[in-house]
Chain A
């Protein structure tokens, strides 16, 4: 068996998951993980599964394209591999920023994270500025390597937030889980 990742993206509408999963099923694909996200009217879905060795991924991709391209969606398929080497030991934190919308906020914060090898595992940033334009919120869920010097990372992050006019906080994820989940 070989492992494939299928990416489907385009305007959202009913029937996308049904079409993709039906085709994958017909090709003997065993799904392991599926996730989808909708932002405003745009859809992205990721399907990870295994297909028989004898089957060519080009054939699967062609079948998927025939299904979803008429729906206005793009599809991409690639072989995936298990990550090599020792995984980084890290801890989960949550970065929250509040402030006025302006171009470059995500780029500004993400640059500091990238420089410190901090991985963003989930990001929600919604800039609508309807009710209170000064109250746009970004929530980054991140994995911070245990080997990272927390103090200097925190300083760099807070300095950047200050430059961007953002009120920022960096909290351990466990705090949120302990408080809100039983």
Chain B
């Protein structure tokens, strides 16, 4: 028998606090699609993905209806194309991206992630071709996400790749100039990219992963904020120790729901369940914001001194609650602070409360990095590379994933507004120091060696 308290508390989470499953992501290995011929490869890929994902959207909707919890996004992650399609030219890589986009459209999939390369220690021919293809591929497609891992704690930072990605981001923005450089919203540069991320734009299926797998991304910043607000209303003298306990318990509940839905979908599709990613992922809807949590914890705005400490506590409490709730935890698993995708964070950058420097400091304790940050369109490639290098260093030294998803918005300057539509949201372009002062460092190239903490053998 359920207690009235259990029932009412659960309903509150479901109905008023935006509890949903943010994404069910089907991982599909493409290694058995390999061919010497690009057209043949595309045929193989189309057949495999279509077979595996034919019912993905319907099953997610059916399970969502049964449990009364919507699965907001249905996505696919694939083997890194630079590996699966190694040997093809940039032009052929681009054709593959267009074909993938078409497959996603037919299957009603929101995004396919995995137009990706792993180059932390150096480039293969496939890596070079893929990175060369990125700007055009992202301009010609709507549903393809691309990621490039340029650094890891084990390998150090491939500064040649960092320099190349600065130029690639610029070019990607230029080719989607008519849409505020939206191509860059689908391109992320990583350090220590996890192999099983269900969230975009970083989702891809790692080489150690099974043939098919279901990974889920839970959500719930709104649930966490409301739980904090309720606790503080009922117990006005509550301190941070007790509040982190509230966050932990809430993360537990949210994760249980995500895992339940993920396993139900996996069972119905007869595909193994992989991991639950515990991230607090905001959307540009009121009441679904990570930034608002900072205000519930006493700051006037995210960006005020104290923000890094709050984010550290939040990230840790979310992990602790989630790890107990799920048998298999993976992906990024922490709090996201994507600027344009979070109304409150976007507002803090607009009114000057949150600067790029503070944002970078905060990324040293959260699970992603400089995410969905709009910067002036004329920012030099070297400055972009410099920002990426700093972000990669934070990840490499702290043995954690960090990423940079920077959008130089063509034709716009600091203070202007950039709009990307839908879940990608809109943001005010941030002011950055771009006086050419990073160019000399970026030009040096080479690989920054792995840090001492990587030597654990």
Q: Which residues of A contact B (CB under 8 A)?
A: 94, 96, 122, 124, 137, 139, 141, 150-151, 169-180
B15: chain A residues within 8 A (beta carbon):
169
List 22 A–B pairs whose Cβ atoms lie within 8 Å, in order of A's numbering. Answer: A122-B1, A122-B2, A124-B4, A139-B2, A139-B4, A150-B65, A150-B66, A169-B15, A170-B68, A171-B10, A171-B14, A171-B67, A171-B68, A172-B68, A173-B2, A174-B67, A175-B69, A176-B6, A178-B256, A178-B259, A179-B257, A180-B253
Which chain B residues (252-272) contact chain A, with CB distance < 8 Å?
253, 256-257, 259-260
Contact B257 A180, beta carbon cutoff 8 Å: no
Give the contact-size bracket for chain B: 20 to 34
Question: Which among B9, B11, B15, B67 has the highest number of chain A CB atoms within 10 Å?
Answer: B11
Please give the distance in Å from A129's CB to the nearest CB on chain B. Answer: 16
A176: chain B residues within 8 A (beta carbon):
2, 6-7, 10
A169: chain B residues within 8 A (beta carbon):
11, 14-15, 68
- A-B pairs, top 5 by smallest CB distance, nearest first, are A178-B256, A179-B253, A180-B6, A171-B68, A172-B67
Q: Is B13 an interface position by the 8 A CB rule?
A: yes
Q: Which residues of B contact A (CB under 8 A)?
A: 1-2, 4, 6-11, 13-15, 65-69, 253, 256-257, 259-260
A169 to B65 CA separation, bound complex (whole angstroms):
12
B6: chain A residues within 8 A (beta carbon):
176, 179-180
Known contacts: A122-B1, A141-B1. The answer to whether A172 contacts B66 by CB under 8 A is yes
Please give the distance in Å from B197's CB to the nearest CB on chain A. Answer: 24
B253: chain A residues within 8 A (beta carbon):
179-180
Contact B11 A171, beta carbon cutoff 8 Å: yes
Contact B10 A180, beta carbon cutoff 8 Å: yes
Contact A94 B7, beta carbon cutoff 8 Å: yes
Question: Which among A122, A150, A178 has the highest number of chain B CB atoms within 10 Å?
Answer: A178
A151 to B65 CA separation, bound complex (whole angstroms):
9
Please give the distance in Å from B399's CB to the nearest CB on chain A. Answer: 30
Please give the distance in Å from B417's CB to the nearest CB on chain A. Answer: 38
A177 to B2 CA separation, bound complex (whole angstroms):
8
Residue of B nearest to A174 (CB): B260
Contact B67 A179, beta carbon cutoff 8 Å: no
Residue of A nearest to B15 (CB): A169
Please give the distance in Å from A33's CB to the nearest CB on chain B. Answer: 14
A141: chain B residues within 8 A (beta carbon):
1-2
A178 to B261 CA separation, bound complex (whole angstroms):
11
Contact A175 B257, beta carbon cutoff 8 Å: yes
Contact A94 B2, beta carbon cutoff 8 Å: yes
A180 to B6 CA separation, bound complex (whole angstroms):
7
Among A96, A172, A179, point to the contact of B256 (Cβ < 8 A).
Answer: A179
Contact B7 A139, beta carbon cutoff 8 Å: yes
Contact B14 A137, beta carbon cutoff 8 Å: no
Contact A179 B13, beta carbon cutoff 8 Å: yes
A137: chain B residues within 8 A (beta carbon):
4, 8
A150: chain B residues within 8 A (beta carbon):
65-66
A96 to B11 CA separation, bound complex (whole angstroms):
9
A171: chain B residues within 8 A (beta carbon):
10-11, 14, 67-68
Residue of B nearest to A151 (CB): B65
Contact A179 B10, beta carbon cutoff 8 Å: yes
Residue of A nearest to B324 (CB): A182
A178: chain B residues within 8 A (beta carbon):
256-257, 259-260
Residue of B nearest to A95 (CB): B7
Please give the distance in Å from A152's CB to the nearest CB on chain B. Answer: 12
A160 to B15 CA separation, bound complex (whole angstroms):
20
Contact A175 B10, beta carbon cutoff 8 Å: yes
B10: chain A residues within 8 A (beta carbon):
171, 175-176, 179-180
Please give the distance in Å from A168's CB to the nearest CB on chain B. Answer: 10
Residue of A nearest to B62 (CB): A150
B7: chain A residues within 8 A (beta carbon):
94, 96, 139, 176
Residue of B nearest to A91 (CB): B66
A177: chain B residues within 8 A (beta carbon):
2
A23 to B283 CA separation, bound complex (whole angstroms):
65
